[in-house]
Amino acid sequence: MPIRMRLGVVGALAAMLCACATQPEIPFDKTQASHLKTIGIVTPSMPDKPTVWLASDVGQSFGLIGALVDAGIQAHRDAVLWNAIDGVRNPPRTAFVNALEASLRRQGFDVKMIEAQRPDGHYLKTYPRTHDPIDAYLDVTFIGGGYGYVAAAMGKATPYRPFVYLHCRLVRASDGATLMQDAVFDNAIGAPKDTVTISANPTYQFTDFAAMRSHPQDARNGMDDAFRTTANMIGTLIR
């Protein structure tokens, strides 16, 4: 990964520390969506690969050199985690979309998959027309590092746990009205106010990166668990 991109990743994650990634919340109201039966899940805007993120470390205190060192370490860990979770044969994107579909079906909705290009990490401005009729589009964009593992600091007292950070919105197909819009963070750093916050699952935690690397199936299970938890919350927000 080029240096500029690495610094961009570190910078984006650093921005998360000040909870800058907020959007206005729009609650779902059944009276505005009484005929909502079929939801189209648009291809999420989501990194293909997870991130292993150390939210505070020595490098942050040493300017550009420190940031470069951090970026290099993170890129290496990201690659190791990707191999450990067998991401090529079992893409995280598939796991998340499956969890989202299951969540919506449990809420009683019919679900269709809507393919879409997601070039810029924002909500779509227009949604694809579909052959099958749908009542609303569910648009999900991952923000910050997207998903993976995060630790507040180095040390046994601050283990790595799975995280998922995303924005979601439900848009009525007939007129483009926003029926629901919210942010959902599983294992947030801090307590961002305008965001649904889900506590990390302590079942999946690793005292350090070496422990995560030596338990690849657990690492994958933890990530999938975070996907399910977040997807279930999205389903709850559309009740």
Partner 1 sequence: MSIALRIPRVLVLSLALMTVGCATPRVEPPPLLSLSNRRCEANPNWAAASTIAYDPSKHRGDASAEITSASACFEDAVGQSLYAVYRLPSLPATSLVRVESTPQGQTLMAPRVLLYGPHGRLKRQLSGSRVVFRGSALSVIFRSHADERYLVVASDPAVVGHAIARIRDAVQGSAIYAYPYIVPVYTGADATVKNVLSYNGRVTVALRALPAE
- Cα distances (Å, whole numbers) of residue 4 to 60, 98, 215: 17, 34, 32
Written as one string, the DSSP assignment of 83-134 is: HHTTTTTS-HHHHHHHHHHHHHHHTT-EEEEE-----SSS--SS----SS--
Say whether residue 17 binds partner 1 (CB under 8 A): yes
Residue 175 CA to residue 127 CA, distance in Å, equals: 11
Q: What angle do CA 234, 237, 239 make, to 5 degrees?
A: 120
3-state secondary structure of 24: coil
31-60 exposure pattern, b = at least 16 Cβ within 10 A, e = fewer: eebeebebbbbbbbbbbebbbbbbbebebe
Residue 110 CA to residue 122 CA, distance in Å, equals: 25
Q: Which stretch binds partner 1 (CB under 8 A): 71-79, 88-96, 176-184, 209-217?
A: 176-184
If the CB atoms of residues 130 and 158 are measured against partner 1, the closer one turns out to be 158
Say whether residue 181 binds partner 1 (CB under 8 A): yes
3-state secondary structure of 2: coil
Q: Which stretch binds partner 1 (CB under 8 A): 85-93, 134-142, 199-207, 215-223?
A: 199-207
Say whether residue 9 binds partner 1 (CB under 8 A): no
Q: Which of 38, 43, 130, 178 binds partner 1 (CB under 8 A)?
A: 178
Which residues in the 21-80 window bind partner 1 by CB under 8 A? 24-27, 29, 31-32, 54-57, 60-65
Residue 16 CA to residue 25 CA, distance in Å, equals: 18
If the CB atoms of residues 200 and 212 are measured against partner 1, the closer one turns out to be 200
If the CB atoms of residues 99 and 196 are measured against partner 1, the closer one turns out to be 196
Say whether residue 126 binds partner 1 (CB under 8 A): no
Residue 162 CA to residue 186 CA, distance in Å, equals: 8
Measured from the CB of residue 93, what is the shortest distance to partner 1 in angstroms? Answer: 25
If the CB atoms of residues 18 and 79 are measured against partner 1, the closer one turns out to be 18
Residue 16 CA to residue 22 CA, distance in Å, equals: 10
Q: Which stretch binds partner 1 (CB under 8 A): 1-9, 129-137, 181-189, 213-221?
A: 181-189
Say whether residue 102 binds partner 1 (CB under 8 A): no
If the CB atoms of residues 87 and 137 are measured against partner 1, the closer one turns out to be 137
Say whether residue 199 binds partner 1 (CB under 8 A): yes
Task: Answer whether 169's CB lies under 8 Å from 181's CB.
Answer: yes
Size, binding site for partner 1 by CB under 8 A: 49
Which residues in the 103-122 window bind partner 1 by CB under 8 A? none
Binding site for partner 1 (CB under 8 A): 17, 24-27, 29, 31-32, 54-57, 60-65, 150-153, 157-159, 161, 176-178, 181, 187-200, 202, 233, 236-237, 239
